[in-house]
Structure 1
């Protein structure tokens, strides 16, 4: 099973949370998680990694 990790990426309109395995932005409740303040994106990535610890592996990309 591929490792699901999360990475922050800065965009024009703020920060986004992206899946390491696909490079695509994370979607929650049908909303793409981009354009966020940096702190919010970091907290979201940390929460997702905590919810899926066996899949997350390391916390690369999470400040």
Structure 2
């Protein structure tokens, strides 16, 4: 896991969710770069998206029994 992914996960833990704009601001990256990070975290089954387009937010996936 890279530093940007760790920063996003920590932000979600502290705030409950994150959107693309918030991620761009804290990471100082472009929208496509942030989408790639979100896609990687979803592929790793760490976050899930809720909503669509400009209303999309990302939350941690609850893992029970771990």
TM-score scaled by structure 2?
A: 0.37
Larger proportion of helix: 2
Of structures 1 and 2, the one scoring higher in RCO (CA 8 A, sep 6+) is: 1
